[in-house]
Chains A and B, each alone.
Chain A
């Protein structure tokens, strides 16, 4: 149990376009999901916390107009990178609160975004 599916796994887009990344909890309901960003050889940095049915809480320094988060249902959260630039290229990972399983957090498999 406690599987989180993240799509796409890899995406290349042109500068100025928007990209949507989906994070789904497959066999449990996730009232809270988290979005992280990971630069090469660095650790995961929390970008925002999304709660079903309410606005996301963004970490300091994260532009909420650039990284739009929607958590419209108990099993789906989306991250949209708007007007992407090459510096947005990174590895984005979502996780969901999964109760007592797996330490309480289950991670998606990540999305490698490359902006050209």
Chain B
């Protein structure tokens, strides 16, 4: 059975801190790994990763994939209160299906 595990389940930080969110997976027929940010409604796309070792960056957010060790991390530097959300990791498998992890609830305190 395909499985995606995220850690930690939740964390609370102060503005300005740097956080690292983890995502490990065990799936057959891996195609890509995606990160989403969810604030009460629909997930919004952050990154798609298909190759190991290539960092994707967007502002204060960055992510990298290790296909040998089967994990990915999402880094957020200089956190702001607007970063408070649930961060979802999903693995796309053949058949165009997304398998989601349980998410990490991030709360940034001012």
Residue numbers of A with Cβ under 8 A of B are 6, 32, 34, 41-46, 49, 93, 95, 97, 102-110
B42–A103 CB distance below 8 A: no
B108 within 8 Å of A (CB atoms): no
A residues less than 8 Å from B92 (CB atoms): 104
Name the residue on A nearest B92 (C-beta): A104
Bitwise interface map of B from 63 to 100 toward A, beta carbon under 8 Å scored 1, else 0: 00000000000000000000000001010100011111
A110 to B98, CA, bound (A): 17
Chain B: interface residue total (CB-CB under 8 A): 21
Name the residue on A nearest B34 (C-beta): A103
B residues less than 8 Å from A45 (CB atoms): 100
Q: Min CB distance, A109 to chain B, in Å?
A: 5
B residues less than 8 Å from A110 (CB atoms): 41-42
Bitwise interface map of B from 42 to 80 toward A, beta carbon under 8 Å scored 1, else 0: 111101100000000000000000000000000000000
- Given the known A-B contacts A49-B97, A103-B48, A104-B92, are A43 and B41 also in contact in the complex, defined by CB atoms under 8 Å? no
Centre residue among B88, B92, B100, B105 by max chain A CB count within 10 A? B100
B residues less than 8 Å from A34 (CB atoms): 97-98
A93–B98 CB distance below 8 A: no
7 closest Cβ contacts across the A-B interface? A103-B48, A107-B42, A102-B45, A43-B100, A43-B102, A44-B100, A109-B42
B7 within 8 Å of A (CB atoms): no
A32 to B97, CA, bound (A): 11
B96–A44 CB distance below 8 A: no
A46 to B33, CA, bound (A): 16
Sampled A-B contacts (12; CB under 8 Å): A34-B98, A41-B105, A43-B102, A44-B88, A46-B99, A49-B96, A93-B43, A102-B45, A105-B34, A106-B45, A107-B43, A109-B42
